[in-house]
Amino acid sequence: TQLLEQSPQFLSIQEGENLTVYCNSSSVFSSLQWYRQEPGEGPVLLVTVVTGGEVKKLKRLTFQFGDARKDSSLHITAAQPGDTGLYLCAGALTGGGNKLTFGTGTQLKVEL
Protein backbone atom coordinates (compact mmCIF):
# COMPACT_ATOMS: atom_id res chain seq x y z
CA THR A 1 0.00 0.00 0.00
CA GLN A 2 1.48 3.33 -1.13
CA LEU A 3 0.69 5.85 1.58
CA LEU A 4 1.84 8.88 -0.36
CA GLU A 5 0.78 9.49 -3.94
CA GLN A 6 2.54 12.12 -6.00
CA SER A 7 1.29 13.71 -9.18
CA PRO A 8 2.20 14.15 -11.87
CA GLN A 9 4.68 11.30 -12.22
CA PHE A 10 6.53 13.02 -15.08
CA LEU A 11 6.67 16.65 -16.09
CA SER A 12 8.54 18.17 -19.03
CA ILE A 13 8.30 21.94 -19.37
CA GLN A 14 10.06 24.90 -20.92
CA GLU A 15 12.23 27.31 -19.00
CA GLY A 16 10.17 30.10 -17.46
CA GLU A 17 7.00 28.07 -16.96
CA ASN A 18 5.35 27.51 -13.58
CA LEU A 19 4.45 24.10 -12.18
CA THR A 20 2.89 22.44 -9.18
CA VAL A 21 3.57 18.98 -7.78
CA TYR A 22 1.07 17.35 -5.45
CA CYS A 23 1.58 14.88 -2.63
CA ASN A 24 -1.56 13.24 -1.24
CA SER A 25 -2.37 10.74 1.46
CA SER A 26 -5.22 9.46 3.59
CA SER A 27 -2.88 9.40 6.59
CA VAL A 28 -2.06 12.28 8.91
CA PHE A 29 1.64 13.12 9.15
CA SER A 30 3.45 14.79 12.02
CA SER A 31 5.85 16.33 9.53
CA LEU A 32 6.44 16.27 5.81
CA GLN A 33 9.63 16.82 3.91
CA TRP A 34 10.44 17.55 0.29
CA TYR A 35 13.63 16.33 -1.33
CA ARG A 36 15.25 16.67 -4.73
CA GLN A 37 17.40 13.87 -6.08
CA GLU A 38 19.89 13.89 -8.95
CA PRO A 39 20.73 10.65 -10.81
CA GLY A 40 23.09 8.41 -8.82
CA GLU A 41 23.01 10.67 -5.76
CA GLY A 42 21.11 10.74 -2.49
CA PRO A 43 18.05 12.95 -1.96
CA VAL A 44 18.78 16.50 -0.80
CA LEU A 45 16.42 18.00 1.77
CA LEU A 46 14.63 21.12 0.51
CA VAL A 47 12.17 21.86 3.31
CA THR A 48 10.32 20.45 6.31
CA VAL A 49 6.74 21.46 7.16
CA VAL A 50 5.14 20.54 10.45
CA THR A 51 2.07 22.74 10.98
CA GLY A 52 -1.21 22.31 9.12
CA GLY A 53 -1.66 25.15 6.63
CA GLU A 54 2.00 26.10 6.81
CA VAL A 55 3.56 27.76 3.77
CA LYS A 56 7.31 27.96 3.28
CA LYS A 57 9.21 29.66 0.51
CA LEU A 58 12.67 28.82 -0.77
CA LYS A 59 13.55 31.32 -3.53
CA ARG A 60 11.29 30.30 -6.44
CA LEU A 61 9.90 27.23 -4.62
CA THR A 62 6.77 27.44 -2.46
CA PHE A 63 5.75 24.56 -0.23
CA GLN A 64 2.39 24.16 1.44
CA PHE A 65 1.21 21.66 4.04
CA GLY A 66 -2.50 20.90 3.99
CA ASP A 67 -4.68 22.04 6.89
CA ALA A 68 -5.34 18.41 7.89
CA ARG A 69 -1.66 17.47 7.46
CA LYS A 70 -2.56 14.81 4.90
CA ASP A 71 -1.31 16.50 1.76
CA SER A 72 1.26 18.94 0.47
CA SER A 73 2.18 20.80 -2.67
CA LEU A 74 5.33 22.19 -4.22
CA HIS A 75 5.04 25.13 -6.60
CA ILE A 76 7.95 26.29 -8.73
CA THR A 77 7.80 29.71 -10.34
CA ALA A 78 9.72 30.44 -13.55
CA ALA A 79 11.38 27.05 -13.72
CA GLN A 80 15.01 26.84 -14.78
CA PRO A 81 17.04 23.94 -16.22
CA GLY A 82 18.79 23.67 -12.84
CA ASP A 83 15.46 22.64 -11.31
CA THR A 84 15.57 19.38 -13.27
CA GLY A 85 15.51 16.34 -11.01
CA LEU A 86 13.37 13.86 -9.11
CA TYR A 87 11.19 15.53 -6.48
CA LEU A 88 10.14 13.38 -3.55
CA CYS A 89 7.80 14.08 -0.68
CA ALA A 90 8.25 12.08 2.51
CA GLY A 91 6.05 11.95 5.58
CA ALA A 92 6.69 10.96 9.16
CA LEU A 93 3.84 9.34 11.07
CA THR A 94 3.29 10.16 14.71
CA GLY A 95 5.15 7.65 16.84
CA GLY A 96 7.11 6.37 13.88
CA GLY A 97 10.44 7.78 14.98
CA ASN A 98 12.55 8.74 12.01
CA LYS A 99 10.86 6.32 9.64
CA LEU A 100 9.90 8.24 6.52
CA THR A 101 7.30 7.09 4.03
CA PHE A 102 8.27 8.36 0.61
CA GLY A 103 6.00 9.40 -2.20
CA THR A 104 6.14 7.88 -5.66
CA GLY A 105 8.22 10.78 -7.00
CA THR A 106 7.86 13.39 -9.74
CA GLN A 107 10.50 13.46 -12.45
CA LEU A 108 10.85 17.06 -13.65
CA LYS A 109 12.71 18.10 -16.78
CA VAL A 110 13.09 21.77 -17.61
CA GLU A 111 14.30 22.51 -21.12
CA LEU A 112 15.76 25.67 -22.61
Site for another protein in 18-47 (CB under 8 A): 30-31, 33, 35, 40-45
- Any contact of residue 105 with another protein (CB under 8 A)? yes
How many angstroms separate the CA atoms of 23 and 9, rounded?
Answer: 11
Least Å distance between CB 59 and another protein? 19
Of 35 and 71, which CB lies nearer to another protein in the complex structure? 35
- Site residues (vs another protein, CB under 8 A): 30-31, 33, 35, 40-45, 48, 50, 88, 90, 92, 96-105
